[in-house]
Structure 1
């Protein structure tokens, strides 16, 4: 009688210690691999981005270091650094009444231009987001001013507000609204509001583009559901459009504040800070200190003050918006 090979079957109830030993062996064998993998993985991305980080750090840090160095030294008109002066440049700047006037004008200029731009760009973007004949042409017309140099735009508006042959005075006189030419850019009461209006007009295309991008990401089904439920157009705008557009509004406000705060061409080309230094903002005051009056040390101090103001505003604004978003999420 021939017997076949015996089949070895595992025991029905293995000993408890065997399973534990097998599990611990697997764990001990995989633990070095996991440790090596956890150490090796984070290094590769850092090694890839370190060159660009070093280059960016150098590009950003060197000008800041140079400005800080100049702000605490006596610098000649030609940029030659002389003796260490400490905070004397900052004392001179804060003691200058033109600086205080420029600081106040900068706050007014930034607030009015940003608020006016956002207030106009929201309805403009809502209109351009609708489906109508010629929408592409309308969008192109709105975006065209963005492609023109800001300096050239300021030159055109300076001609438009010319006292004798400017388009604004000629048009108003033909309409019978004024009896004679108005000296728009030579009168302190008119010059700064005119520049604020021009600042709003040149900022609308960029802001409208941001809002159109936000509106294109909003699904149309929610509006259809709201109309079925009987919501009016104002309720749809207040309850749906504004909340969904809020991240883009926050981004537009922050970017416009940084952009408008440092905007140089409009005011410098149209009035160069005049008349009687009534339209100076910090960036034009800085330029005049450094290149007209030959005080680079004080100009460096003003640039540092501007950097601190913008950095403090950006951090505070982002924190406030984060807290508001967290509070709204908790309420929801």
Structure 2
């Protein structure tokens, strides 16, 4: 039971008059929008993630557990039959090995070359703005279009590379550069690095431009050599941007499809196929097995990224 006020008056309420004798106005309710908090702002993003990411993953897993023929007819549940069939495929070990080599080599070369280009573009020199614009070209163009362009350039009959090498006397006959896996793989790596350089270079360049000049001046005052400054000042401060570029490249290169499909379509046979291309090739024979390969790919990407983030200590500064 509420106690009366000290002066003996009663507190005005919605049905009690105040000191002037007029009824007090009713209490206002809070608007509905503030009570929802951040939900109106994050709701569309959550909905987009559910539709674009979660729902396809659920459908992919469901499809891998069904018996679906090439015409799309569902013949009922299959359990783990398609996974057993996939792992029993004699082509899978070579595909997995090439996928690992492909990812490590392309990402390694991309990061190394991009680091050098970022250092170059961070310096002042005549024509720097033009060279920066030129670097955007592989990024602005369609990756599939770039891959097809390289395929025609390497064509045995109409390719300009064979014509150039023949005119220079460097080869005695035209070669099918993409017809043999041993010759096609280096070209695939070259094109993949070519289309990956712009994003990685600009990410590292953005990181370099956040390093304050005062840090370099302090290092010079302390007598540090250029190499010591780069190793103990630049690289540690560039670490966040480097990790972002590395993780994005790992995901993109592992899932790369346009470069390989546009140049060799995974052939000859499956000699140049990564797991993503192999998954697409399986769709013509067994839709459910192709879905099983998709699930394995998805799980591999998640595990790869989690392991990398755990071993790299990407959030160690936040935990200090």
Indicate whether 1:309 and 2:300 are aligned: yes
Verify the 8 A CA contact 2:67 2:288 in the aligned structure 1: yes
Distance (whole Å) between structure 2 residues aligned to residue 53 and residue 265 of structure 1: 29
1:130-141 matches, cutoff 5 A: 130-141=123-134
Per-residue deviation, 1:177: 3.2
Per-residue deviation, 1:233: 2.4
Indicate whether 1:169 and 2:142 are aligned: no
TM-score between both structures, scaled by the size of structure 2: 0.83
Per-residue deviation, 1:316: 1.0
Per-residue deviation, 1:246: 1.2
TM-score between both structures, scaled by the size of structure 1: 0.81
217-226 or 303-312, which deviates more: 217-226
1:138-287 matches, cutoff 5 A: 138-287=131-280
- How many residue pairs get aligned? The number is 289
Verify the 8 A CA contact 1:70 1:81 in the aligned structure 2: no
1:107-122 matches, cutoff 5 A: 107-122=100-115
Per-residue deviation, 1:324: 8.9
Per-residue deviation, 1:238: 1.3
Runs of 5+ in structure 1 lacking a partner?
1-36
Per-residue deviation, 1:48: 4.7
Larger radius of gyration: 1
Indicate whether 1:57 and 2:21 are aligned: no
Distance (whole Å) between structure 2 residues aligned to residue 73 and residue 276 of structure 1: 27
> Per the alignment, in what secondary structure is the counterpart of residue 74 of structure 1?
strand
Indicate whether 1:100 and 2:93 are aligned: yes
Distance (whole Å) between structure 1 residues aligned to residue 258 and residue 294 of structure 2: 17
Distance (whole Å) between structure 2 residues aligned to residue 173 and residue 253 of structure 1: 39
Distance (whole Å) between structure 2 residues aligned to residue 308 and residue 254 of structure 1: 16
Distance (whole Å) between structure 2 residues aligned to residue 245 and residue 185 of structure 1: 38
Per-residue deviation, 1:241: 1.4
Q: CA RMSD in A?
A: 2.3
Distance (whole Å) between structure 1 residues aligned to residue 232 and residue 167 of structure 2: 46
